Amino acid sequence: MLAFLSLCAPIFAVILLGWAAARFGLVAPSVVDAVGHFSFHFALPALLLRLMGSQPLGQSFEPVFFAGYLAVCLAIFFSVLAIARPWQRRGAAAAMGAGAAMGNVGYLGPPLLLPLLGERGAGPVAMAIMSEVAVVLALGSLLMAPAMPGAGLRAMGRALRSLLVNPVLLSIAGGALVGAIGLPFPGPVDRFLGFLGGAAGPTALFALGGTLGRLAVGRRLLLVAGGLSAGKLIAYPLLVWLVIGVVLQREWFWVQAGVMLAAMPTATNAFVLAQRNHAGTEEVSATVLLSTLLASLLFPLTAWLVTPAVAVP
């Protein structure tokens, strides 16, 4: 367990650094936004493109894993929506569902999984991004839209158009295509992608911390945020283990990857989606902050439970 804590601590320490820098005014909000923009539009796509393209598509993409992970993701989303619906409007209930189903797999997945699973871990990360970002983002946009004729479809259309130009999803598609063709990247291109992608982890984590530095948890929201965080960090990984490991009986690698990806804290994308639609913003904001804090302890525990002992350099 101590080995996993030692492995994860530096990663969460960068998040803490970004949080402190934003909280105490050491960097302007525009700087945090710029770092996040660089990571999302340049560094992270380069990392995923290189990792996905450097291995055969059959090794990085597992259809049964993808179907099982997506099924659990949707089950969490709709279960939370159904639980919240009696005492919340549809939009707020959908925002809470997104808060429990959308993990920070893009920013936290590579730095946390790749040291434990190797470069093969890029495939599960990519499939988790497609499940939790592409599918839930479209569904959330539809259900959070104001209750006006055609508003939901227009919101979903806007979400789908944004997904079509999403640099992370495009890099996953490009890497899958390169992996399917089986042509290696030329040396200079590979080194360029490796050099640029190497910045993905630190910049993404710092930007995440800076974003969290702008959020707050009110006392009245602790109960809601605690419930959503429990769904995200406990129920979600347990369901993934049950579906992928017990029901679908996939290779243990896919069980490990799925459980750890499901144990990621709530993504800031869920907050952005709620804010854009003016639905459940405070509840999701509190969940993003609280789940990230709890994940700094719960994720090493989850990794320890599903992964053999690791050697810390």
Looking at residue 267, the DSSP 8-state letter turns out to be: P
Nearest Cα residue to 35 out of 191, 200, 273? 200
Domain-located, residue 280: yes
Output the domain CATH number for residue 104: 1.20.1530.20
Q: Which residue has the tokens 């320490």?
A: 13
Tell me the C-alpha distance between 98 and 223, whole Å: 17
For residue 163, give the H/E element and its range: helix 151-164
Domain around 239: 2-305
Exposed / middle / buried, residue 63 (Cβ in 10 Å: 0-12, 13-18, 19+): exposed
Domain-located, residue 249: yes
Domain-located, residue 312: no
| Tens of pLDDT, residues 286-295 | 999 999 999 9
Tell me the C-alpha distance between 28 and 18, whole Å: 11
| Tens of pLDDT, residues 170-219 | 999 899 999 888 888 899 999 999 999 999 989 999 999 999 988 877 77
Tell me the average pLDDT across 148-163.
Answer: 66
Domain count, the chain: 1
Domain-located, residue 73: yes
Q: Largest Cα–Cα distance in the chain? A: 58
Domain-located, residue 79: yes
**pLDDT > 60? residue 23:** yes
Domain-located, residue 265: yes
| Tens of pLDDT, residues 212-265 | 988 877 777 888 999 999 999 999 999 999 999 999 999 999 999 999 999 999
Spatial neighbors of 87 by CB under 8 A, at least 6 apart, are none
